[in-house]
Chains A and B, each alone.
Chain A
Amino acid sequence: EAQVTQNPRYLITVTGKKLTVTCSQNMNHEYMSWYRQDPGLGLRQIYYSMNVEVTDKGDVPEGYKVSRKEKRNFPLILESPSPNQTSLYFCASSFRGQTYGYTFGSGTRLTVV
């Protein structure tokens, strides 16, 4: 089944403790992207990647890192999480980016205390 898989689905962590949210897609998509969803703000793009080793900042990149060493994987790294990064995170992938629309993962609900 074609899908985008994120792990974990739920995560509670403490301020400053590094964490990684994994994202993997099995559709051989070139484009991958991370979003955060907050009430009243909709979805905001954190980072995106157009291909292996090619990444760029979205609208809200501060406090996040990404890497794209393989086409299928696009992990999101929080080096020193803070409470304002408590949010619902979505990974998405697309064959050629915005033209084709994105396929979304099921989300990761992160709480930083």
Chain B
Amino acid sequence: AQSVTQPDIHITVSEGASLELRCNYSYGATPYLFWYVQSPGQGLQLLLKYFSGDTLVQGIKGFEAEFKRSQSSFNLRKPSVHWSDAAEYFCAVGGANTGNQFYFGTGTSLTVIP
């Protein structure tokens, strides 16, 4: 069965520090992978996505993610965090084997301290 695991429920980083949010997936074929961000009281915004090709993908707001098939991971990174990055982050997986369903992880809440 398809699933997404985000091991970290909550992460706190200092402004200016680097960030890595973990995402592991379970999927039987080549997955489509996504990262979304949810600011308080808002809907979800797509940060970046991976379908194929270059395993390092660039997204909006200075985020990037790397697909590692051998580790079934798609971790999100940012070299220098800004206070405005405080939000909830969701990893999601879809693909040909999921029909039209789309599976989300349980999210990682990011706090940024000055």
Q: Which positions in A face B, CB cutoff 8 Å? A: 4, 31, 33, 35, 40-45, 48, 50, 56, 58-59, 90, 92, 97-99, 101-107
B43 contact set on A, CB distance < 8 A: 4, 90, 104-107
19 contacts between A and B (CB under 8 A): A40-B106, A42-B105, A44-B104, A56-B99, A90-B43, A92-B44, A97-B94, A97-B100, A98-B32, A98-B94, A98-B95, A98-B98, A101-B49, A102-B44, A104-B43, A104-B45, A105-B43, A106-B41, A107-B43
B102 interface contact, C-beta 8 A:
yes
Q: Once A and B bind, how many residue pairs between them come within 8 Å at the CB atom?
A: 60
How far in angstroms is the closest Cβ of chain A from B17? 26
Cβ A90 vs Cβ B44 within 8 A: yes
Cβ B90 vs Cβ A99 within 8 A: no
How far in angstroms is the closest Cβ of chain A from B80? 25
Cβ A104 vs Cβ B44 within 8 A: yes
How far in angstroms is the closest Cβ of chain B from A103? 7
Proximity bits, B50-81, A CB within 8 Å = 1, else 0: 01000000000000000000000000000000
Assembled-state Cα–Cα distance A44/B2 (Å): 13
B25 interface contact, C-beta 8 A:
no
Cβ B32 vs Cβ A103 within 8 A: no
Assembled-state Cα–Cα distance A97/B32 (Å): 11
Nearest chain A residue, comparing its CB with the CB of B49: A101
B99 contact set on A, CB distance < 8 A: 56
B51 contact set on A, CB distance < 8 A: 99
Given contacts A42-B105, A42-B106, A56-B100, contact A99 B44 (CB under 8 A): no
A45 contact set on B, CB distance < 8 A: 101-103
